[in-house]
Structure 1
Amino acid sequence: MTTAAPPSPARRIALLNVKYSPNLGDGLLSECLEAELARTFQSIAPGTEVFSIDLAGRRAYPAIAPSRRAALIGLLEALPAALRSLATRAALSALVRLRLRRHVHARLAGCDAVVLGGGNLLTDADLNFPMKIAGALRQAARLRLPVAVYGVGANRQWSAAGKRLFGEALQSAKLAYAAVRDARSQAAWRDLLVPQGVRPAALSGDPGLLASCHFPRPPLPFDAPLAGLCITAPMALRYHATGPEAGTAADACAALAIWYGTAARALVAAGLRVALFTNGSPEDRDYLAAMGPAWILAAKGPVTMTNPFADPAEMIHFIAGCQLIVAHRMHACIAAHSFAIPTIGLRWDVKLDSFFALAGRGTFIADTASLDGPALTALARKAMAEGVDRAALEELISGTRSDIARMAAALARAMQPAKEAA
């Protein structure tokens, strides 16, 4: 009679991401990936610990307080491109050399594997992620730890230096598994990294799709249905936008404040209460604080402002209590979709188009320039009436769980044999 092999001793797995970014969408997907990978490893190595190492060296969610981030982005935008590149590269070099290297090295002590993900990490805004990821993966390589890449986004707007840094870091890593979150990212990986000797990447579900698996749904309200209108600062749209809209984003920003006021009125006209919220980014919070009161006065209806969220759990509690979400921010839309809440995406970055296509909601994403008040009222009513395709959503969620299980199996095979306790 044969018996099943006993499970392996508990392991320790570190995720490299930006979990503690003020953008709580990053924390949401990090917490979902932590929870799901730990759940999956219970059948491989019970008691396995999964935790995140923040690529900016943060150790906790930031306090809700005034930030210099908006001023810094404004300063960077004002610099000539060459000078901006020199300034950011010098600052990032110092950060990686003096702080991040020690931070990652200390946190990797006793680890058995590393996962890069999730989030829009394979992007190059002034060499931010190329330098941070290269520095972190260098530490993993020194410790000969197996590495997986999971659920990341990638674009093609890489500088020559960024392309080299990403390529060298991933080619030198002990890369056991690689998967990106959409077809555009997969094509960018294929064209920019595979020629440098990096293994091809599979497709995977975004960890944020598992929000409903790892966060509770609050009780539904008894009064009129609630729409969450996610406010994103024009500055953030200018600095981070990609795709066809990126070149005209600066011109469109002058009209954005008017559009948000119009949108609030349009959602009220659709029979909804409206709550204005942000994903936590300081520039978004400041913009809402400055403009929100005027939008509320102009709406002449049940429109309120939410208090800032302290962590992803608070943000999810709010989103899961809505009956409609309207947002530029992708993970506000992904979290809502996980709870089968209809979403309307506001086009600004190709990653949002990729998600709405994946979710089968291509008719519910639009540019604010072409979405006037009556059009938004009609689209909101249509979204509420049609709801979310539950069968397709369950397929996305189960597929994402299977994707994470495949990554876990690949990591388990690549790990060094565990040392048994004496």
Structure 2
Amino acid sequence: MKIALLNVKYSPNLGDGLLSECLERELGHALPGAKVFSIDLAGRTAYPGLGPSRRGQAIAVLEALPLWLRQRLARLVLATLVRLRLRRHARSALEGCSAAVLGGGNLLTDADLNFPMKIAGALAEVRAKGIPLAVHAVGASRNWSPAGRRLFAGALRSVRLTTAAVRDERSRLAWDSQLEPAGLPPAGLVGDPGLLASLHFARGPLPEDAPRAGLCITAPMALRYHSDDAHGDDDLDEWYAMAARTLVQQGYAVALFTNGSPEDRAYLARLGPQWIRAAKGPVTITNPFANPAELTAFISGCAMIVAHRMHACIAAHSFAIPTIGLAWDIKLDSFFELAGRADFIAATADLPEPRLRELIRRAGDEGVDLAALERLIASTRADVSTMGRRLMAAAAAASPPRTSLPEPLPA
């Protein structure tokens, strides 16, 4: 039995690979004998190398364009990509599959129609195969364009949808408000698969000298482009320097790292030496990670993580490592609320040195509520198991596929 996960496993942001690998392994555990694998919605087949990338330049160009021109250009490029390459990629990978899962990750978002068009193309191939689909642990934004809403709704109506579940309450409200009126069922709530990192990845070694704090660096460009509600990204250059210095003063050896996105790596390479000089203490730049296992080994060897990136925080929490979240997108606030750590997230604009120092001290002193974490991990495992059973029951029933197709998007 083969089950395909539709996601962005091989994204340069290794957080996407981390949650994809966790879902692959956990679903395989829940359904012994099943072959569970991922189909990257962007057509990638391996984790990207660590060489130069034009991704940051592309984002900068899109940012500079007028909104109407940016959307028109993106639509034309994506339509060609989906038609000529991505649907063929999905069609080939789905061969022999009994079922498919859309999830997890922040997939139900609409930045220049990127995910609406890619998901509509992939689900057209799922429908053509006549196999059931589960939507599991996805993030959903609330600001879809009319075209994006038509694409998402049409694609999901066209398949045999067995279950629909999102990863937080705000995503549930976004799903229900935008998809229920189109005839889709309300979404349930499940845990993010990244919470299972400590079950599926080995813990990395602890430093032998001072406890290590991982300071995750995210480029301001990424915060502006990918967020619904970007905030707190002003003066990040100075804020990161202050944060490294404050962590050093609190007794930590600081490691500057990224989740892997090229724009983040370029930002760290450019300003990291300046931050090290300003910190006047043990601060290093961590080598880029090649895959989620390397990222997780590093995070799990830290005593504290400070990050904008959601899955740096989720992986750390899975290993019971205190985290301080840097607010920039509602999805991160939602996770900290779910984890019972709402007191430990704030925008950088609201974290001057005195408040950051106090938050670091509190996070280190209080640690993580282990009983609550165990319950969260157990419920997340149960969510995957329940989804898997329902999906297999639908596959066994072999109901005929629906005949409706997603409404085509005009060029």
Band of TM-score, shorter chain: over 0.9
Percent sequence identity over aligned pairs: 66
Contact 1:117 1:150 in 2 (8 A): yes
Q: Structure 2 unaligned segments of length 5 or more: list them.
A: 399-411
Tell me, yes or no, if structure 1 residue 142 matches structure 2 residue 128.
yes
Q: Tell me, yes or no, if structure 1 residue 83 matches structure 2 residue 69.
A: yes
Report matched runs for 1:203-214 at 5 Å: 203-214=189-200
The corresponding residue for 2:19 is 29
CA distance in 2, matches of 1:188, 1:86: 25
Output aligned runs, 1:125-274, within 5 Å: 125-243=111-229, 246=230, 249=231, 253-274=233-254
Matched, 1:115 2:97: no
Q: 1:31, 1:408 → 2: CA distance?
A: 16
Q: Distance in 2 between matches of 1:359 and 1:103?
A: 37
Q: How far apart, in 1, do the equivalents of 2:285 and 2:363 lie? A: 23
Q: Which has the higher contact order (CA 8 A, sep 6+)?
A: 2
Equivalent residues of 1:113, 1:146 under 8 A apart: yes
Which residue of 2 is the match for residue 16 of structure 1?
A: 6
Render the CA deviation track for 1:167-187: whole Å, top value 9, x for unaligned: 001111100111100000111
Moved more, 280-289 or 188-197: 188-197
Q: Name which of 369, 377, 394 aligns with 1:414.
A: 394
Task: Give the superposition deviation at 1:416.
Answer: 3.6
| Residue 254 of structure 1: how far off its partner (Å) | 4.6
Determine if contact 2:210/2:251 at 8 Å carries over to the other structure: yes
Query: Equivalent residue for 1:332?
Result: 312
Q: Which residue of 2 aligns with 1:377?
A: 357
Secondary structure class of the residue paired with 1:63: coil
The whole-number CA distance in structure 1 between the counterparts of 2:307 and 2:336 is 12
Aligned-residue offset at 1:375 = 1.7
What amino acid is the match of 1:142?
A
With structure 2 as the length reference, what TM-score do the two structures score? 0.96
- Whole-angstrom distance in 1 between the partners of 2:397 and 2:233: 55
Asked if 1:299 is matched to 2:279, the reply is yes
Partner Cα separation in structure 2 for residue 221 and residue 299 of structure 1:
20
Question: CA contact under 8 A between 1:320 and 1:339: conserved in structure 2?
Answer: yes
SS in 1 for 2:287: coil
SS at match of 1:325: strand
In the alignment, is the contact (CA less than 8 A) between 1:344 and 1:365 conserved in 2?
Answer: yes
Q: How far apart, in 2, do the equivalents of 1:87 and 1:324 lie?
A: 42
Give the C-alpha shift of residue 12 in structure 1.
Answer: 0.3
1:195-216 deviation line (CA, Å, top 9, x unaligned):
1111211100000000000001
> Which TM-score applies when normalising by structure 1?
0.93
Give the aligned partner of residue 406 of structure 2. Answer: none
Of stretches 189-198 and 336-345 in structure 1, the one that deviates more from structure 2 is 189-198
2:234–2:349: 8 Å Cα contact kept in structure 1? no
Aligned to 2:324: 344
TM-superposition CA deviations, 1:263-292 (whole Å, max 9, x none): 000101111110000000000000000000
Give the whole-Å Cα distance in 2 for the aligned partners of 1:125 and 1:69.
Answer: 15
Instruction: Give the superposition deviation at 1:374.
Output: 2.3
Match of 2:256 in 1: 276
Contact 1:156–1:188 (Cα < 8 Å) also in 2: yes
Do the aligned partners of 1:265 and 1:373 also contact (CA within 8 Å) in 2? no
> How large is the RMSD of aligned CA atoms in angstroms?
1.0
Code of the aligned partner of 1:290: R
| 2: CA distance, partners of 1:17 / 1:109 | 17
Which whole-Å CA distance do the structure 1 matches of 2:393 and 2:183 have between them? Answer: 22
Residues 417 and 183 (structure 1), Cα distance of their counterparts in 2 relative to 1, 3 Å cut: closer
Shift, 1:333, TM fit? 0.1
> Within 1, Cα distance between the matches of 2:110 and 2:392?
31
SS where residue 399 of structure 1 aligns?
helix
Number of positions where the alignment pairs a residue of Structure 1 with one of Structure 2? 398
Unaligned stretches of 5+ residues in structure 1: 1-10
Deviation of 1:222 (Å): 2.6
Partner SS, residue 53 of structure 1? strand
